[in-house]
């Protein structure tokens, strides 16, 4: 593929999260709870539920390292594996160097079709930024990353809620985790449950397991 096209694709993949952060500002503040209004014990219980979501294959499979190889959990299976068909996200994180994610994963706000049709979302399909490595990480490691502004896109607890709401407004990857198409497993609870848990965890001071 032409180097100019790859560079343009890479630039787009970098700018997309930054644009989302700008337009997300303030959208989640209505979900936020007053700091200190939730006890540490309750906050830790909320984290346990959050951990069950973020470590689920629907959430973790695209949060991979710089190798850029997404993880895949085929329909009807529970064990994750390297994505089939020799898929590689590349440095662009959208597969521009080989087979773009969009070849199969269409951008659409329509409901996902039953498996084995590829899941889609309302935003262009891509791997999470390499800094947001979740796959293979422990719950404690992910927890500390989520509360670390140097590793979570500069977001405080309220901005994390903003991120959830903004992604949902675009029918993005996060809410689609609960709507992947019939035949695929989903994280526990619902998207709204996850938002409430994130609000409680934030109000408790974002406690993490040691």
Find the helix or strand (DSSP H, E) in which 71 lies.
Answer: strand 71-72
Q: Give the residue-averaged pLDDT of 46-74.
A: 93
Asked if pLDDT for residue 88 goes beyond 50, the answer is yes
What residues does each domain of the chain span?
3-203
What's the pTM? Answer: 0.84
Do 71 and 87 form a contact (C-beta atoms < 8 A)?
A: no
**Pairwise CA distance, residues 184 & 13, whole Å:** 27
Per-residue confidence (pLDDT) for residue 18, from 0 to 100: 38
Do 37 and 201 form a contact (C-beta atoms < 8 A)?
A: no
pLDDT in tens, 19-54: 334 444 566 689 999 999 999 999 999 999 999 999
- CA 63 → CA 12, 71, 86, 204, distances in Å? 18, 9, 17, 26
The DSSP symbol for 75 reads: T
């Amino acid at each position: 593929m032409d180097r100019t096209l790859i560079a343009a694709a890479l630039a787009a993949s970098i700018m997309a999260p930054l644009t989302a952060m700008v337009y997300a500002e303030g959208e989640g503040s209505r979900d936020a709870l007053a700091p200190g209004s939730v006890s540490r014990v309750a906050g830790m219980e909320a984290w346990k539920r959050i951990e069950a979501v973020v470590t689920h294959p629907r959430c973790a499979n695209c949060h991979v390292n710089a190798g850029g190889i997404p993880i895949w959990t085929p329909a009807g299976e529970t064990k994750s594996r390297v994505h089939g068909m020799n898929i590689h996200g590349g440095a662009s994180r959208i597969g521009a160097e080989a087979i773009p994610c969009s070849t199969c994963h269409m951008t659409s706000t329509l409901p996902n079709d039953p498996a084995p049709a590829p899941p889609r979302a309302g935003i262009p399909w891509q791997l999470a930024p390499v800094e947001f490595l979740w796959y293979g990480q422990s719950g404690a490691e992910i927890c500390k990353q989520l509360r670390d502004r140097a590793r979570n896109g500069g977001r405080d607890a309220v901005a994390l809620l903003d991120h959830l709401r903004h992604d949902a407004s675009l029918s993005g990857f996060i809410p689609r985790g609960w709507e992947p198409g019939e035949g695929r497993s989903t994280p526990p609870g619902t998207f709204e449950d996850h938002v409430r848990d994130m609000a409680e965890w934030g109000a408790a001071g974002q406690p993490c397991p040691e």
